[in-house]
């Protein structure tokens, strides 16, 4: 087998493997998104949320000028 033919065979096999890996990666990404969406939907059906929820936290400043609101997240 000539060197050129070996190189062409290698490139062909390499491209096939790369295409299969890309398809597998995309399939895995799709599955992960579907699982995440299902978990969020189920949690919401049970009255919970998997997403961070904004709430207000208040603190007095050090100069006695009043109270300031700060956004924080419950799920961090």
Task: Quick: pLDDT tens for 43-70.
Answer: 888 887 777 666 555 554 555 555 554 5
d(CA 59, CA 71): 11
- Write out the E strands in 1-76: 54-60, 67-73
| pLDDT band with cut points at 50, 70 and 90 for residue 76 | very low
d(CA 48, CA 34): 18
User: Higher confidence at residue 3 or residue 76?
Assistant: 3
Domain ranges of the chain: 3-73
**Per-residue pLDDT tens over the stretch 10-34:** 999 999 999 999 999 999 999 999 9
Tokens of 7: 């190189």
- pTM value is 0.49
Nearest to 58 by CA among 66, 70, 73: 70
Q: Is the pLDDT of residue 36 over 60?
A: yes
H or E segment to which residue 24 belongs: helix 3-45
């Amino acid at each position: 087998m000539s060197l050129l033919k070996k190189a062409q065979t290698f490139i062909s096999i390499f491209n096939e493997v790369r295409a299969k890996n890309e398809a597998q990666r995309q399939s895995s990404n799709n599955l992960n998104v579907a699982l995440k969406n299902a978990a969020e939907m189920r949690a919401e059906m049970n009255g919970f949320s998997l997403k961070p929820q904004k709430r207000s936290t208040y603190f007095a400043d050090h100069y006695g000028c009043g109270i300031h609101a700060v956004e924080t997240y419950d799920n961090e």
